[in-house]
Structure 1
Amino acid sequence: MRKLCFLFLASAAQAALEFESVLLTTEHTKGFRAVEFAKGEGRLPKARCKAWPGSNDWPSDFEWRLFNATLDGALLKPTTPSIACYRGPDFNAATCSYLLNNATNNGFWIDDPVTVLTQWTQGGTCMPALNATGTCTHGGFPHFVVNATTVKHVQAAVNYARNKNIRLIIKNTGHDFGGRSVGAGSLSIWTHNLNAFELLKGYKKGSYSGTAAHFGSGLLNWQLFNEMFRNNLTIVGGGQRTIGANGGWMASGGHGHLTSLYGLAADQVLELRVVTADGRYLVADEEQNTDLFYALRGGGGSTYGVVTSVIVKTYPPVTLISSSLGIACNPPPDTNARARYAPLDSNTKFVNNTDRFWNAISIYFRFKRSIVLAGGTDWDYLYPLGNNSYSFRTRITFPNTSATAAEALLKPLYDNLLRAGFNFTLNRTELVPVPYFGTALTPSSPGSNGLQNTRYRSRLIPHDNFATDAIFNRTFAAMRSITEQGGLTLHGLSIGPSAKAAGYPGTTAAVNPALRENVLHLCYMTTQPSSFTAQQARDEEAHVNKLLKPLRDITPGAGSYMNEGDPGEPDWQWSFYGAHYRSLLRVKRRRDPWGVFWAPTTVGSEGWEVVTLDGYPRSQNGRLCRVEQ
């Protein structure tokens, strides 16, 4: 249960959430030395690989019971819910039907301790299906899960994993597209229930003075929006309401509808509470543990420590005003394919000529820089449906803007479309400012994504690529060819988290410098079937990287956004972190010399590899071992 408190403080050092008052002490460790804090100079364990279930170095059942006693009974050994669909002792037809027909709409998967929404990274095992065949294996899901409800639980889990050389992972909601929240043979820290919230009045930190919000790493965006609604204030949140309000989303940047106005989630952070690899619980801000304060704001998650809570800036109430349009090309006869078209409203146009369709899309994408410069964002999808059939839809959002001002901002777009022969009519009935935080929500109202095997490839397109018609046209030609030749779905977001938008203390964060120059965040989406062999997966990865190479070539140094990036991203150190990588690696080595924290494409991860039985690339279904020199 979340508590809402009003604290009148002059210093954040006095503030602590209730669950952060329960800490692991040396008294707790006396009877079970496996959870002792680190001592002396840290170094990597002698064993090349992490302990593995069934091996000689894996703890006995008795040790796990002692560990559970230290955790006050918080240790779980869950199976994936989808096991109910497979013949065997856990088969349950009613449960399987529920998973397939109802679980997507009520947050079930978000609240599950092991499930991640993108399944291919854990091996694509045990997907729910009617009349499922084969065996439901555990795959890359963790072996044990700590249902953390206090800092003590987090500390004990970190210490146990370090002292027993067990692979450790961190999970909140499972909005994970790169395999960071799964790992075979691992111990998982499930932060989902660290969801307390407090409002701090009279908070002062550096040049910031006023009201701040303090909340746990398990708080979800829909819960954060409810707190905004109750208190009539604004906190920067994500676009998808079932993601975590900080955690991994914040650690790699974190974008949403206010990104072009107030910056990224990482730019909002004034203070962090974190459990480090030695098991200690620390406060990180601009005066203490400054290396962690730098690294944890944009330098990637799951590698420096476990964030238990953050204190962030708040703003006066913000309104949003939105406008949508859609363009469809060569409607397919198939009803299911047509369902993926833009909504059939007054702002949807149909064309029967592919070049005309792409010309209209080009005009719209050329306008994206104007959206960002006005402090706005957009969210669009372009679906290839086969046989030169396409669907595009977008929604543009401007904060703190009147209907008259929004119409003036959109007029150049509609004028350019008209000159190209597209007589779009601005739907003025949409132009109604609404509160950013919306209305009160319930656990079932956000709706969550269902299980999928989506694979994301990301590219950041900077202002330079919009500077002239010539460079933009070359950039757009590369974008178009990826969808036309490869059949990849395009998901685009106009976001401009500039240094000016970031404000204090965002400019000191480890956010990928490419994001500060960004106009368009492109995601190319494919489905990686569970039926793929290892060779098919390698071939597909090589094929898509070849398709994206012209776009990467025309955006040199622009990089990629890790939260929607690919674990197979070429030169990922530069793409995800840019010039910050070396300084972040120094933080990693200083704070975690034991190699406690690891996840793919996180800082320092190149020193380890997952050894799978079949060599399936990027899968977390295998033992974690150090790379042999």
Structure 2
Amino acid sequence: MFISFYTVVAVSLGLCSTAVALASIQRNTANISCRYLPVDKEWPGSTDWDALNITVGGNLLRGEPLAQSCYQPHENLAKCAEIRKSWGFDSLYFDDPVNVMSPFWLNNSCNPFLSSLTNACTLDNVASYAINVTDAASIMAGIEFTQRKNIRLSIKNTGHDYLGRSSGKGSLALWTHNLRDMSIIMNYTSSQYSGPAVKIGAGMQSREVDQIAGKHGLRVVSGLCPTVGLAGGFSQNGGYGQLASLYGLAADNVLEYEVVTTDLRHLTASPSTHADLYWALSGGGSGNYAIVLSQVVKAHPDGQVTGATFSLLNTNSTAFWSAIQTWYQQSPRFNLIPGFSASWIISRELFRLTAATLPNGTASDLDAILQDFYQVITELNMTFVSKTTIVKPSFVDLYNTLVPPSHADASFPANNTIGSRLVPTSVVQNNLSDLLDIYQRILHDETVPGGVTVVGGTSNNVSHVNIGVDPDSNAVLPAWRNALFTSSAAISFPDNTTVEGLQLVQAKVNTWQDWVKDLTPGSGSYINEATYDNPDWKSDYYGKNYGRLLQVKKKYDGKFSLWQHTSVGADTYWQENAEGRLCRLSY
């Protein structure tokens, strides 16, 4: 599948005009200790890119800013209007080979709402070219090209990422979004597991996998957000969802990975083959040890699932926060209920249970779990705006009710920055008033530069005892196993937020993440919902696993061809300078 606004020709990519435009500013760096950028004389020429395009069967795509139609010399008012309509929705970025959903990482270099403020419209932080990956050979061709030409390599699946891990100035991206095969394996057998499984291509997204699995009477661990790539950043970074309390994190359910390493090997990593790589890929970070083409995950027999939602307005601040206090006080009990999970958000105006889930339970079962909380709401003389218990015959039916396809874009906006922390039971027992005070400070922070602020959480019991996973079976952050719930704070900002505004938002979320961190010493953060510039990223995102993960990194990516902020080894071989160029560290 190709993007309509890219012209892909096997013989020529039409690069002459670009080469002429850069000629006056190109410089001869002659410094192989840094990756070359398009401004350098050593940057690959049109002949080089044409040859690569032929090698990958015409699947080389030149990166273009999404909103260039809003700028001269490419201005097209009709196209610009369409881009503006979709700018805050993450679906805009899935079918684009280089652009990522986070405005912070796009650096607003080509924002359709800021075109009157600047005449610049550049790719900036995102890849210059991308290979539409179709197989292992196309990945190998891209790796070999970047190593031979000394340019940066990046990996993009959906581009659904808050840490900029899919970006990379002047890079060649391996775009895995179109690896969209999925197959059902009813009798997968290994020394560790026998039973149903599904093989998922790297481009498959959460809702798509749920739909197909459901048609075969199965369910898998997927994300509450329907658009995450299950075999990409989701599983490789842990991955939690509504079924985690019953089956564990996504990483706990992976049986094997199909990968290409940067030394050009096509491997299967499992508990019995390349077991160290399998261990690292299962929770130790995405896109950093090898490029994943597909993974096989456990599938579980489907059946009745019950869910609940409610919304409570803040019509009386004292009563409102008393209700929230009660909810958190009851969270230790929630984690003792087999299979139960809950996700919620709090704003200044609203406390909303977005999804409580009880697999294999009845309506009366779930109502009984929540009855004590409901009783407190009555005693506080409060009234729910809405309160619903939903019983569905399958998980996907419940999921589609809780997160309707038509509402997905609005529920998970792209113009968002988030920070998080894993909160252990001791905080509720000993410091709950301090935690709730922090939440109120966050929600009433008057220095936030526009936008909407929310705090939230998800209750999942993914302890080793609860889900039956051996402590050494994968590289999931150990803090997950002791967490009572996740704590997050996020800002959704206006489409026209400037670069300076984005920087202020990022700094603010960092501050909030640190406030909760002060209450949770020795815990950590879910890296998919964390900040890129946390100075304690090694301990917070990888914990005691970091040293072992670094050894795996050195073994399978010895030249550190794969580099990201906060990835294992990020400060070992390369550093990114102010220009966005990767240069080798010297000690």
How many residue pairs get aligned? The number is: 544
Distance in 2 separating the partners of 1:546 and 1:133: 30
The alignment status of 1:176 with 2:142, answered yes or no, reads no
Question: Are 2:433 and 1:448 equivalent residues in the alignment?
Answer: no
User: What is the aligned-residue RMSD (CA, Å)?
Assistant: 2.7
Query: 1:328·1:391 contact (CA, 8 Å) conserved in 2?
Result: yes
Structure 1 position 532, deviation (Å): 3.7
Distance in 2 (CA, whole Å) between partners of 1:550 and 1:71 is 49
Unpaired runs of at least 5, structure 2: 2-29
Q: Structure 2: how far apart are the matches of 1:106 and 1:546?
A: 25
Aligned to 1:458: 420
How far did residue 325 of structure 1 move? 2.1
Unaligned runs of 5+ in 1: 2-44, 330-349, 385-389, 614-621
Contact 2:270 2:278 in 1 (8 A): yes
Q: Measure, in 1, the Cα distance between the counterparts of 2:69 and 2:326.
A: 49
Letter in 1 for 2:434: R
Q: 1:78: how far off?
A: 2.6
Alignment of 1:588-603 (within 5 A): 588-603=553-568
Q: Take 2:209 and 2:77, find their aligned partners in 1: how far apart are those partners?
A: 36
The answer to whether the 8 Å contact 1:162/1:277 transfers is no
Q: Which AA in structure 2 matches 1:610?
A: E
Partners of 2:58 and 2:251 lie apart in 1 by: 34
One of 250, 253, 265 as aligned partner of 2:238: 253
Which letter does structure 2 place at the counterpart of 1:369? P
1:196 aligns with 2:181: yes
- Whether 2:520 is the aligned partner of 1:561: answer no
Residue type of the partner of 1:300? G
Shift of 1:214: 0.9
Q: Distance in 2 between matches of 1:531 and 1:108?
A: 20
Q: Report the AA paired with residue 531 of structure 1.
A: T
Does the CA-based 8 Å contact 1:172-1:218 persist in structure 2? yes
Other-structure match for 1:365? 328
Q: Distance in 1 between matches of 2:322 and 2:407?
A: 35
Identify the residue that residue 346 of structure 2 maps to in structure 1: 382
In the alignment, the residues of structure 1 paired with residue 99 and residue 45 of structure 2 have an alpha-carbon distance, to the nearest angstrom, of 26
Residue 93 of structure 2 corresponds to residue 109 of structure 1:
yes
Residues 401 and 611 of structure 1: is their aligned pair in 2 closer, same or farther, counting only changes over 3 Å?
A: same
Q: What amino acid maps onto 1:381 in structure 2?
A: I
Report deviation, 1:380.
1.9
Q: Classify 1:92/1:592 alpha carbon distance in 2 versus 1 (closer, same or farther; 3 Å).
A: same
Q: Distance in 2 between matches of 1:120 and 1:176?
A: 11
1:504 positional shift: 4.9
Give the whole-Å Cα distance in 2 for the aligned partners of 1:481 and 1:48: 46
Over 3 Å counting, the alpha-carbon distance change for 1:105 and 1:299 in structure 2 is closer
Indicate whether 1:148 and 2:133 are aligned: yes
Residue deviations 1:170-218, cap 9 Å, x none? 1111111010001111010000011111111321112311221112111
2-side partners of 1:108 and 1:131: how far apart? Answer: 19
CA shift, 1:104, in A, is: 6.5
Q: How far apart, CA to CA, are the structure 1 residues paired with 2:135 and 2:398? A: 30
Per the alignment, residue 42 of structure 1 pairs with none
Tell me the secondary structure at the aligned position of residue 268 of structure 2.
Answer: strand
Given that 2:106 and 2:124 are in contact with CA atoms closer than 8 Å, whether structure 1 keeps it comes out as: yes
Q: So what's the TM-score if we normalise by structure 1?
A: 0.81
In the superposition, relative to structure 1, how do residues 440 and 236 fare at CA in structure 2: closer, same or farther (>3 Å)?
closer
Per-residue Cα deviation, 1:334-365 (whole angstroms, up to 9, x for no partner): xxxxxxxxxxxxxxxx32xx333222211122
Shift of 1:100: 2.4
Residues 28-82 of structure 1 deviation map (CA, whole Å, 9 limit, x = unaligned): xxxxxxxxxxxxxxxxx98321121132432222122111111111111030221
The structure-2 alpha-carbon separation of the partners of 1:421 and 1:601, relative to structure 1 and needing over 3 Å to count, comes to same
* Aligned ranges 1:132-147 → 2 under 5 Å: 132-134=116-118, 135-147=120-132
SS, match of residue 194 in structure 1 = coil
The reply on whether 1:612 has 2:578 as its aligned counterpart is yes
Cα 1:439–1:480 change in 2 (3 A) is: closer
What displacement does 1:368 show? 2.6
- Percent of residue pairs bearing the same amino acid type: 31
1:317 paired to 2:275:
no
Return the alpha-carbon distance in structure 2 between the equivalents of residues 445 and 424 of structure 1: 24
Moved more, 119-128 or 190-199: 119-128
Structure 1 residue 424 displacement after superposition: 5.3
User: Deviation per CA, 1:258-309, whole angstroms, max 9, x where unpaired?
Assistant: 1111111111101111111101111111111111100000000121010111
What is residue 69 of structure 1 aligned with on the other side? 54
Please tell me whether the aligned partners of residues 104 and 447 of structure 1 are also in contact (alpha carbons under 8 angstroms): no
- Which among 468, 474, 495 is matched to residue 434 of structure 2? 474
- In structure 2, the residue matched to 1:337 is none
Taking structure 1 as reference, are residues 627 and 434 closer, same or farther at Cα in structure 2, changes over 3 Å only?
farther
1:393 pairs with 2:352: yes
SS at match of 2:48: helix
**Change in CA separation of 1:495 and 1:480 when aligned onto 2, cut-off 3 Å:** farther
